[in-house]
Structure 1
Amino acid sequence: MTWISKSVTGLGLLLLTHACYSAHEHSALHSTSTASLSSMASHTAVASTVASLPIDISIETVVAVFVICLGLVLGTPELRPIQWRVWAGKIEREGEKGFTNSDGNVDKDYVGNPFRMLESRPGFIDIRKQRKEFAEWVREGGGTAGASKS
Structure 2
Amino acid sequence: MAQVDRQAEALERLLDIASTLNELLSDEELLRAVARLLVTPETLLIIDRLPQIMQLLERLTRPETLEKLNAVADAIDSLDVGVLRSLASSLSAEAQANNLSDLMRLLGDRDVIKGLAIVLNVAKAIGAARPANPK
Quickly name the TM-score band, shorter chain normalised: under 0.3
The structure carrying a bigger helix percent of its residues is: 2
TM-score, length basis structure 1 = 0.21
Name which one, 1 or 2, has greater alpha-carbon Rg. 1
- Work out which structure has the larger RCO, using CA pairs closer than 8 Å and 6 or more positions apart in sequence: 1
Q: TM-score, normalised by structure 2?
A: 0.24
